[in-house]
Chain A
C-alpha cells in the first residue's frame, strides 16, 4: 500500500533559519558521518547541515532509544531512584529505512516508560538516500516514523510535532499534502507465506544456513528493529544497585533457556528459524507485520554471509535439498 501524502512546504531561507533554531535549541545534534575508519556512525554535529544528505549509520536510532546498559532504576541508601532524564536530541539526515525502523520501535515500545521518555526528548529528521547495491527501500513497508523529512528546500511533517515545527517556522495555512520523494525502487521486503513457513520446520534449508551460522549475534545487534533485551542487576561495592536493560539476542544459548535448564530453541538451526519468523512474520500483537526494512545491515554484518532475504526467497520457491 503506497504511503499517504504528508503535510509539506518549500521553505524560504529565513524560514529554514527559524526551523533550524527550533531544532537546535537546547538539544544535542547528531547525524550520520563517516569516521576515519570509513564506517558511518551517528555522531555529534556542531550544527545542522544546510543541505540534506542522508547516509545509513552503523547502528540506527536504537542506540539512543534503547541503549545497551540503560539504567531503569537505582537503589541507593535505602531509596529507589528512577533513571536520569534523557538527553534532548535532534538526529538529522536519517535514511527512510531507519525512519521505518523507528516506526516499528514506536509500536513495540508504545507502553514502555523509559522508551517513551527518550522518544519524547528526540526529534528525527529524514532525508532521501541512494540505496546501495545490497539494500533497498520498500515503499510498501512500514509508514516512516520520525518528525520531519527534507529534500532540497522542501520539508514534510511526519508527526504532529514536526507539523507544529513547520507551522512555527512558516506560519499556519501554508502546508499542503505532498507524497514523500522516493523511496528509490529496487526491492521489496520478502513476503513470507505463513503456511509455507509453518510447514518448513524439517526443511534442510535451515540446517544449511545453520551449518555456517556462528551464532555471534552480529546480525541482530545491527538490525534497527531487533530489540530483545535482558534485565540485569548491577550491584556495586558501595551498596548501590542499578537495574539495567542490556541488549540480548535470539542467537545466544541462554535466550530461550528457562528454569530447570530447558531450552525452547536448542541449536543454531532453531534459533535462525526463530529469528527469521520473528522478523518476517511478526510476533504477538504484531503477527502479520514484517519488521524488516530492507536496510541490508544484517547481511553486511554477517561474517559468513548469511542473508535472511535469500532464505526467504528459497522458502518462497519451495526449497528442497
Chain B
C-alpha cells in the first residue's frame, strides 16, 4: 500500500501523532510504501498515483486547493485527518474576524472541494484511530466506528460529570466519541474538537451551556468552533 501524507494549513500535530506511535513504526514501515511524508523523509519520489492519501489541515490558498484536487485525482482513497481537515478546525477559529493575508481565503474543510473516503477527527487525532485505519485497510475495509457522544465514553470511564456537578461548559453531549473522554477524564471540559455528533440536539445544549453562566454569544462560539461554520 503506497502512502502520501500531505499537509495543508495546519500545525503538523496530526502527523506527529502517527510518528509518535514508536512501537508500531517498524511494522508500519513494512506494511506501507512511503511516497510522500515530509516529516519522516525528504526523499520523496515523484508525485504519482498512491493507494492512500492522508490529508492534514484545512485549505486556505489557491496553491493548496490545486494540490488537493491533484492529490484526489491520483489517490485511490483520500482520508481527512484531524479537526482542520474536517471542519476548518483551529484555523477557522478567527471566524473571518481578521482580514485574510493576501493570497489566502478563509480556511475550508477538505470535503468542501473533494470526495473524502474516511475521516479521523480530533485535535490531535487519536493514535489508536490512526493505527486502526492501517489495520482495517490491510484487511480490506474501514475501521468499525460506533457513532456516539463523548458522554457515553465518559460514563464508561466513570468520570465525574463536569457539566452537571461542576457547571463547566462541557461539550461532551454533542461531541463525537472515540477519545475515551480524554479531557473530562482529567477534569477539563470537552472543547468538542472531534466535531458534532449526528442528530446533535443544539437547542438543549445551548440551554445547558448558558446555565453554566456563559453569555449567549460565548455559547454560540463554543458550540460552533468545530462545527465547520455552516459548511456541512
Report which of A217, A233, A268, A304 forms a contact with B152, defined as CB distance below 8 A: A217
- B151: chain A residues at CB < 8 Å are 214, 216-218, 221, 303
* Known interface pairs A41-B158, A237-B134, A239-B138; A216-B152 also in contact (CB < 8 Å): yes
* Known interface pairs A215-B199, A236-B135, A237-B28; A253-B160 also in contact (CB < 8 Å): no
Q: Shortest CB–CB separation between residue B120 and chain A, in angstroms? A: 15
* Known interface pairs A232-B146, A303-B161; A237-B24 also in contact (CB < 8 Å): yes
Selecting from A47-55, A98-106, A135-143, A240-248, the interface stretch reads A240-248
Report which of B155, B161, B201 forms a contact with A213, defined as CB distance below 8 A: B201
Report which of A38, A68, A236, A241 forms a contact with B160, defined as CB distance below 8 A: A38
- A214: chain B residues at CB < 8 Å are 149, 151, 173-174, 201, 204-205
CB of A160 within 8 Å of the partner chain: no
CB of B172 within 8 Å of the partner chain: yes
CB of B198 within 8 Å of the partner chain: yes
Measured in the bound complex, the distance between the Cα atoms of B183 and A165 in whole Å is 44
CB of A203 within 8 Å of the partner chain: no
- B160: chain A residues at CB < 8 Å are 37-39
CB of B208 within 8 Å of the partner chain: yes
In chain A, residues 252-286, which have Cβ atoms closer than 8 Å to a Cβ of chain B?
252-254, 268
CB of B232 within 8 Å of the partner chain: no
Measured in the bound complex, the distance between the Cα atoms of B156 and A213 in whole Å is 19
Nearest B residue to A36 via CB reads B160
> Which secondary structure dominates chain B's binding surface?
helix
In the complex the two chains form, is A253's CB within 8 Å of B155's CB? no
CB of A212 within 8 Å of the partner chain: yes
- A237: chain B residues at CB < 8 Å are 24, 27-28, 31, 131, 134-135, 138
Measured in the bound complex, the distance between the Cα atoms of B146 and A150 in whole Å is 41
In chain A, residues 283-315, which have Cβ atoms closer than 8 Å to a Cβ of chain B?
301, 303-304
- A221: chain B residues at CB < 8 Å are 151-152, 155-156
- A208: chain B residues at CB < 8 Å are none
Interface centre among A63, A214, A221 (most CB of B within 10 A): A214
In the complex the two chains form, is B158's CB within 8 Å of A59's CB? yes
In the complex the two chains form, is A216's CB within 8 Å of B173's CB? yes
CB of A157 within 8 Å of the partner chain: no
- Known pairs A222-B155, A237-B138 / 10 extra A-B pairs, C-beta < 8 Å: A68-B156, A211-B204, A213-B201, A216-B152, A217-B155, A221-B156, A234-B135, A235-B139, A252-B147, A304-B208
Q: A residues engaging B (CB < 8 A)?
A: 37-39, 41, 58-59, 63, 68, 211-218, 221-222, 230, 232-239, 241, 246-249, 252-254, 268, 301, 303-304
5 smallest beta-carbon distances between A and B, as pairs? A232-B144, A221-B155, A216-B151, A235-B135, A58-B158
